[in-house]
């Protein structure tokens, strides 16, 4: 394995088993392949954005990386250590180095605790900082995210959504982690607040030399935040590559359609309603055979319904899972 990758996921899968009983008492077992054989690297210092529609497995993937759920198959290495089998102290050490910021800022903060206690939790659990030293660190943290010392004594309900997200970010950076996973950090915020939070994240990344895994459904946000973009569809990676290349020349039909669905605020640049994706995302229980996207794909060929596409890589920096490129239909 290469030494430049901070985190490497190799064919990671998570299958949930639905064990439902019908009214007649018949048992039916179904498997939801939430994440299916996903592989990727995160290099130190970069930002990788994972995008896709709801139900594509991006949140499950993120939860797998910090072991909030366990993998069904595959392996994850973090700093040259295999993490899928870690327990106890070693797992604690992993979680010290990977922190997470959740989507809904208000519900990720305990309403019974004041901000001082919320921020000191990770420090008490993982470091020896106590008393004055602890308090000094808390004041430093709260100022790093653009709030003031007086805010430490307040409780979450006294803050706006944007301020709560700042507190969640402060908690995530408290232990100087290597990797921060951001799960839709601005999805519930207004655009003017979103701009402030994104800028804060950008500044912190430069200051603290952080690596971000940015999970989002907002392609515009992904574009301005990320170095690399990974597009997921129904638990699979369909395309991955540097952000600018992907936006300029998307290769996979799904990426193309996803990008063309974003309404542009530029007057005159109108949404191409012609090539719209028809229908919704299929049920993850009864996955289509072959390429998972083929029932909705405007460019499908006969092979797509039969065989799952293999990886096709371009210049070593981009990869796409599509038969159009793989079998030479497209250069």
Cβ proximity to another protein, 37 vs 218, nearer residue: 218
Residue closer to another protein, measured from CB, 52 or 290: 52
What interhelical angle do 131-144 and 161-173 show, nearest 10?
A: 130
Considering the rule CB under 8 A, would residue 20 count as an interface residue with another protein?
no
Rounded to a whole number of angstroms, the minimum distance from the CB of residue 269 to another protein is 8
Give the span between the Cα atoms of 96 and 121, in whole angstroms.
12
Distance, in Å, from the CA atom of 253 to the CA atom of 300, rounded to the nearest integer, reads 9
Three-state DSSP state, 263: coil
CB of 119 to another protein, least distance (A): 22
What is the residue whose two structure tokens read 């900082």? 129
In this chain, which of 88, 267, 328, 331 binds another protein, going by CB under 8 A? 267
Core vs surface per residue 161-174: b (16+ CB within 10 A) or e: bbbbbbbbbbbbbb
Report the nearest approach of another protein to the CB of residue 70 (Å): 28
Quote the CA–CA distance of 318 and 244 in Å, as a whole number: 11
Closer of 2 and 54 to another protein (Cβ): 54
Does residue 219 belong to the site contacting another protein (CB under 8 A)? yes
Instruction: Compose the 168-207 pattern: x for residues touching another protein by CB under 8 A, - for all others.
Output: ----------------------xxx-xxx-xx-xx-----
Q: Which of 29, 131, 273, 328 is the binder for another protein (CB under 8 A)?
A: 273
Query: Could you say which of 72, 114, 117, 261 contacts another protein (CB under 8 A)?
Result: 261
d(C-alpha 12, C-alpha 4), whole Å:
20
Q: Tell me how far, at minimum, the Cβ of 116 lies from another protein, in Å.
A: 22
Identify the residue among 280, 316, 328, 331 touching another protein (CB under 8 A). 280
Q: Is 215 exposed, middle or buried (0-12, 13-18, 19+ CB in 10 A)?
A: buried
For residues 36 and 25, what is the distance between their CA atoms, to the nearest angstrom? 30
Contact (Cβ atoms closer than 8 angstroms) between residue 221 and residue 195: no
Tell me which residues touch another protein (CB under 8 A): 53-54, 160, 162, 190-192, 194-196, 198-199, 201-202, 217-221, 223-225, 243-244, 257-258, 260-268, 270-271, 273, 276-278, 280-281
């Amino acid at each position: 394995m290469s030494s430049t990758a901070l985190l490497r996921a190799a064919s990671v899968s998570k299958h949930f088993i639905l064990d439902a009983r019908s009214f007649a008492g018949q048992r039916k077992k179904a498997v939801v392949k939430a994440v299916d054989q996903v592989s990727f690297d995160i290099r130190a210092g970069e930002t990788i954005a994972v995008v896709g529609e709801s139900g594509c497995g991006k949140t499950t993937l993120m939860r797998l990386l910090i072991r909030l759920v366990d993998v069904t198959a595959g392996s994850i290495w973090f700093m040259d250590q295999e993490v899928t089998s870690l327990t106890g102290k070693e797992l604690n050490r992993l979680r010290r180095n990977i922190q997470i910021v959740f989507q809904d800022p208000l519900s990720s903060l305990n309403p019974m605790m004041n901000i001082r206690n919320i921020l000191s939790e990770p420090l008490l659990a993982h470091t020896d900082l106590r008393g004055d030293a602890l308090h000094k660190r808390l004041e430093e943290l709260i100022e790093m995210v653009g709030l003031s010392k007086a805010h430490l004594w307040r409780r979450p309900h006294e803050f706006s959504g944007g301020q709560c997200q700042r507190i969640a970010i402060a908690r995530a950076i408290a232990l100087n982690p290597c990797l921060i996973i951001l799960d839709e950090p601005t999805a519930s915020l207004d655009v003017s607040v979103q701009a402030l939070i994104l800028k804060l994240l950008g500044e912190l990344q430069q200051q603290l030399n952080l690596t971000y895994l940015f999970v989002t459904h907002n392609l515009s946000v992904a574009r301005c935040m990320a170095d690399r973009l990974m597009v997921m569809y129904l638990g699979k990676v369909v395309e991955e590559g540097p952000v600018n290349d992907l936006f300029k020349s998307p290769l996979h039909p799904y990426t193309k359609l996803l990008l063309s669905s974003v309404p542009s605020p530029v007057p005159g640049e109108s949404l191409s309603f012609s090539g719209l994706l028809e229908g919704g995302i299929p049920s993850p229980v009864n996955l289509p055979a072959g390429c998972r996207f083929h029932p909705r794909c405007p460019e499908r060929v006969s092979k797509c319904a039969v065989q799952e596409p293999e990886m096709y890589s371009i210049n070593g920096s981009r990869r796409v899972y599509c038969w159009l490129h793989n079998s030479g239909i497209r250069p």
